[in-house]
């Protein structure tokens, strides 16, 4: 069971020096399954196009044996690289989330700014006991930070840590 404890919460060094934790291995399985569903949907669209408009499909058909497998391999490789380059860290007063394959983006969200949080589980996420944790701050229309790939226990544990940090901050 992966829950967060006080030992895992680090001090406040520069974010460049923080050791980011990778997402769970199940998050990779979820990404690959989602990618496979997309690739099957794309193949179905090509099959429907062949059925509905054979003349247009005749122009595309010579390229499909090369283009579709190349796209599939690149898309799956992108999902894998994206998983490997995604990480998070929990410090005493904030959470950091790093993502991006070529251009890395690091989001730092102080616990004191978080107004509320939500945990979502899609059908494929439930299959691997994963969830998406969304963190909201004041003044935004959507989630300021959404982390897809936590286990359900991690999401609930982090939600509890944030709630406790906000209660401690409000008492001061």
Residue 172, pLDDT score: 67
Name the 3-class secondary structure at 115: strand
CA dist., res. 71 & res. 57, Å (int): 18
Q: Encode pLDDT of 3-13 as tens digits.
A: 666 555 555 45
Q: What is the pTM of this model?
A: 0.79
∠ CA 160-161-164, nearest 5°, is: 85
The answer to whether the CB of 26 falls within 8 A of the CB of 129 is yes
Mean pLDDT over the full length of the chain: 87
Instruction: Enter the tokens of residue 102.
Output: 């070529």
**For 73-79, which contacts have Cβ atoms below 8 Å and span 24 or more sequence positions?**
75/35, 75/38, 75/39, 76/32, 76/35, 79/28, 79/31, 79/32, 79/34, 79/35
pLDDT at site 12? 47
Per cent of the chain over pLDDT 70 is 88
Tokens of residue 106, six digits:
């690091």
Half-sphere exposure of 52 (CA within 13 A, CB side): 6
């Amino acid at each position: 069971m992966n829950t967060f404890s006080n030992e895992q919460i680090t001090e406040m060094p520069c974010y460049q020096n923080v050791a980011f934790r990778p997402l769970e291995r199940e998050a990779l399985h979820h990404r690959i399954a989602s990618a496979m569903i997309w690739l099957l949907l794309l193949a179905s669209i090509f099959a429907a196009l062949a059925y509905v408009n054979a003349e247009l499909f005749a122009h595309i058909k010579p390229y499909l044996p090369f283009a579709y497998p190349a796209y599939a391999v690149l898309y799956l490789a992108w999902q894998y690289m994206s998983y490997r380059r995604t990480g998070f860290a929990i410090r005493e007063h904030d959470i950091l989330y790093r993502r991006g394959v070529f251009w890395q983006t690091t989001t730092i969200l102080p616990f004191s700014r978080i107004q509320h949080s939500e945990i979502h589980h899609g059908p494929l996420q439930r299959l691997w006991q994963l969830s998406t944790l969304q963190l909201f701050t004041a003044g935004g229309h959507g989630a300021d930070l959404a982390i897809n790939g936590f286990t359900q226990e991690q999401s609930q544990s982090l939600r509890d840590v944030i709630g406790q940090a906000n209660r401690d901050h409000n008492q001061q």
